[in-house]
Amino acid sequence: MSATAVRSPVEFESQLQRFRYERMEEARAVRVGEKEVSESAEIVARYAELFTREQRDALRDAEEAAEGDDRERLYRLRKMCEAGLVEREIAAAADALENKLLAARVNFRGEELPLRAASARVAVLPAYGDREELGLLAAERSAELNDDRMTLLRRTEQLEADVSGEPDPIARAEEEKGVSLGELAAVLAEASARLTDAYVAMRGRWLDRILGSERDETPMSFHVGYLRRLSPLASTYSKERSVDVCLETLRAIGFDLAEQPNIKLDLDDRPQKSPRACVIPSDPPHLVHLITRAQGGLHDYQAFLHEAGHALHYAGSNDDLPFTFRAIARDHALTEIYSFIVEAISRESGWHERHFGLSREQAAQNSEAASLVELLLFRRYAAKLQYELEFWGSLGENGGMADRYSELLTSATGIRYRPDAYLSDMDAGFYSADYLRAWVRSSQLREHVRRETGDEWWCDPRTGDLLRSLFAEGTRPSSEQIAEQLGFDPLDTGPLVRSRGA
Ligand SMILES: [Zn+2]
């Protein structure tokens, strides 16, 4: 490595901001199908001078001499430098895997479908047998890339161990997140167990209704997308109305998304556009992209509201904060609180009644279906965290992990997850734990907001005021600090369990 100039922390932060902007704009172009080839490795190479061991050491020295918020800011900058060091090494391999995924096709009844389009299509096929057939084709095609996934995963893990000096991936994640993952998993397993009766009762009712009586007792996970749309009710939750209804929903709590110039909406339908909605905060609070692809069904509304929560959070951060505290968090647990609470509006019976012309009874039923799906996801994630702890705890001799994945997820959900999805169904850095912390926290926040505004919290502008004051803090606080601000113990799952019928 050449002896390049080491930047001061302030200089490093300002160049990191530019690097991040370029990276995110590139990721956005690929994600939305504007570009067919991912070239993020080229951007990483161009900013290579930011990501050196000398720079990392300089940031660490500054960090050790600092206190309070400054120390935290320098810690996050150092972590970004370390992540960049890892990425420089793996960017080409990561691009290669991404490009293989983009190029993968499945042949479904004479039609060549890109793998991503196939996964999206499964969710909208009306016939049970068709979903099984296309779901299986897509799953098998995806599993062909498992060796590439495993190679990349091991290489990344080695580099992270080396760059951070912490060889244990679980200890490393715990240090960054500032929580004990074992403790979190135990508390969540208990919450999940307390919700088993409620889950089993709702599951039986709604699986029959949505998947039909010819369904398997334990249906394949291919049907989850269809389930999330509440497909037989798709005419109620039409694709055409989703944006308008969501914008109106947000206006009711005091946010005018369409009038916020710093939030760019991309709602178009393109063949290579990923069906997963997302927010790309390229330069918060000035430029935040909200990307969705409506397919019809309730899930469109939920995905839009979820991403709107993220977008409003980033776009609502106080511009006076240093860049680090507007854009960089230790993990995703903070921003997911805000996506979860906005999405939670879609489980309010009153919301279904107000926007879809339903009777009170019908609205209550549909909101129960939405709650079932949410509980399914919660139980799936609690099981996923358990699985990921086992996976990372035994990396190297993880022979039985594919079966373990299937066993844990299937028994938690009553939906069959294929063993060979054990790598594709895993996000980096224990994202599952971040989601779960957000599940706990957003339930606490909802309880707090309800205390302040009442049962109609979901259409009360005071809800927006409460959220706005949290958004202004940007990415500075941890999820656990928000619990403190709200007066809850970070691991108090009471609000989560109470609001979900147990
Ligand atoms: Zn999210």
pLDDT tens for residues 26-41?
989 988 888 877 787 7
Residue 383 is part of which domain span? 181-498
The answer to whether residues 158 and 152 touch, using CB atoms and an 8 Å cutoff, is: no
Least confident among 97-101, 270-274, 462-466? 270-274
Q: How remote is the CA of residue 158 from the centroid of ligand 1, in Å? A: 28
Q: What is the mean pLDDT of residues 435-439?
A: 98
Q: How remote is the CA of residue 201 from the centroid of ligand 1, in Å? A: 28
Q: How remote is the CA of residue 343 from the centroid of ligand 1, in Å? A: 10
SS (H, E, C) 425-459: CCCHHHHHHHHHHHHHHHHHHHHHHHHHHCCCHHH
SS (H, E, C) 121-139: HHCCCCCHHHHHHHHHHHH
Q: How remote is the CA of residue 336 from the centroid of ligand 1, in Å? A: 5
C-beta neighbour count of 68 within 10 angstroms: 7
pLDDT of residue 396: 57
Q: What is the mean pLDDT of residues 102-109?
A: 94
The answer to whether residues 401 and 422 touch, using CB atoms and an 8 Å cutoff, is: yes
2 part of a folded domain: no
Give me the residue label for tokens 């037989």: 232
Residue with more model confidence, 273 or 151: 151
Q: How remote is the CA of residue 341 from the centroid of ligand 1, in Å? A: 11
Instruction: Phi first, then psi: give them for residue 5, nearest 5 degrees.
Output: -65, 135
- 187 in the same domain as 154: no
- 215 in the same domain as 86: no
Q: How remote is the CA of residue 164 from the centroid of ligand 1, in Å? A: 27
Q: How remote is the CA of residue 290 from the centroid of ligand 1, in Å? A: 11
Q: How remote is the CA of residue 342 from the centroid of ligand 1, in Å? A: 11
Angle at 84 between CA 79 and CA 85, to 5 degrees: 95
- 216 in the same domain as 163: no
- Supply 45's token pair: 């190479």
Q: What is the mean pLDDT of residues 136-155?
A: 95
- 420 in the same domain as 331: yes
Give me the residue label for tokens 């690097």: 19
- Supply 363's token pair: 């609205």
Q: How remote is the CA of residue 466 from the centroid of ligand 1, in Å? A: 20
Angle at 80 between CA 52 and CA 390, to 5 degrees: 110
- 229 in the same domain as 149: no
The whole-angstrom separation of Cα 34 and Cα 393 is: 39
- 390 in the same domain as 326: yes
Q: How remote is the CA of residue 313 from the centroid of ligand 1, in Å? A: 11
Give me the residue label for tokens 């935290």: 72
pLDDT of residue 1: 43
47 part of a folded domain: yes
pLDDT of residue 40: 79
Q: How remote is the CA of residue 64 from the centroid of ligand 1, in Å? A: 33
- Which residues, in sequence order, are CB contacts of 200 under 8 Å at separation 6+? 414
Q: How remote is the CA of residue 304 from the centroid of ligand 1, in Å? A: 10
22 to each of 19, 37, 46, 86, 313, how far by Cα in Å? Answer: 5, 15, 11, 18, 21
Q: What is the CA radius of gyration of the chain?
A: 22
124 part of a folded domain: no
Reported as a single tens digit per residue, the pLDDT across 290-318 is: 999 888 889 999 999 999 999 999 999 99
The whole-angstrom separation of Cα 228 and Cα 369 is: 9
Share the mean pLDDT of the chain: 93
- Supply 422's token pair: 């054990």
pLDDT of residue 502: 57
- Supply 213's token pair: 């009586």
> At 243, which amino acid appears?
V
Number of folded domains in the chain?
Answer: 2
- 190 in the same domain as 157: no
Q: How remote is the CA of residue 338 from the centroid of ligand 1, in Å? A: 9
The whole-angstrom separation of Cα 144 and Cα 154 is: 17
CATH number at 387 reads 1.10.1370.30
The answer to whether residues 145 and 97 touch, using CB atoms and an 8 Å cutoff, is: yes
Q: Is the pLDDT of residue 349 over 80?
A: yes
Least confident among 177-181, 279-283, 371-375, 391-395? 391-395
Instruction: Phi first, then psi: give them for residue 235, nearest 5 degrees.
Output: -70, -25
Q: How remote is the CA of residue 383 from the centroid of ligand 1, in Å? A: 19
Q: Is the pLDDT of residue 232 over 90?
A: no
The answer to whether residues 315 and 475 touch, using CB atoms and an 8 Å cutoff, is: no
N residues, the chain = 502
Q: How remote is the CA of residue 429 from the centroid of ligand 1, in Å? A: 15
Instruction: Phi first, then psi: give them for residue 264, nearest 5 degrees.
Output: -95, 120
The answer to whether residues 303 and 279 touch, using CB atoms and an 8 Å cutoff, is: no
pLDDT of residue 427: 83
Q: How remote is the CA of residue 428 from the centroid of ligand 1, in Å? A: 14
Q: Is the pLDDT of residue 375 over 50?
A: yes
Q: Is the pLDDT of residue 501 over 80?
A: no
Q: Is the pLDDT of residue 3 over 60?
A: no
235 part of a folded domain: yes
Q: Is the pLDDT of residue 428 over 50?
A: yes
Q: How remote is the CA of residue 273 from the centroid of ligand 1, in Å? A: 18
Give 340-378 as a DSSP string: HHHHGGGG-HHHHHHHH---HHHHHHHHHHHHHHHHHHH
- 328 in the same domain as 201: yes
Instruction: Phi first, then psi: give them for residue 287, nearest 5 degrees.
Output: -145, 115
Pairing label, strands 287-291, 111-114: unpaired
Q: Is the pLDDT of residue 50 over 50?
A: yes
Q: What is the mean pLDDT of residues 343-347?
A: 97
Q: How remote is the CA of residue 31 from the centroid of ligand 1, in Å? A: 15
- 288 in the same domain as 253: yes
Reported as a single tens digit per residue, the pLDDT across 484-496 is: 999 999 999 999 9
- Supply 291's token pair: 């990307």
Q: How remote is the CA of residue 467 from the centroid of ligand 1, in Å? A: 16
The answer to whether residues 311 and 263 touch, using CB atoms and an 8 Å cutoff, is: yes
Q: How remote is the CA of residue 42 from the centroid of ligand 1, in Å? A: 27
- Supply 361's token pair: 């009874």
Q: How remote is the CA of residue 165 from the centroid of ligand 1, in Å? A: 30
- Band of pLDDT at residue 398, cut at 50, 70 and 90: low
Percentage of residues in the chain having pLDDT higher than 70: 98
pTM for the whole thing? 0.94
- Supply 451's token pair: 């205390």
Instruction: Phi first, then psi: give them for residue 224, nearest 5 degrees.
Output: -65, -40
Residue where a domain terminates, one of 167, 202, 220? 167
- 477 in the same domain as 408: yes
Reported as a single tens digit per residue, the pLDDT across 324-342 is: 999 999 999 999 999 999 9
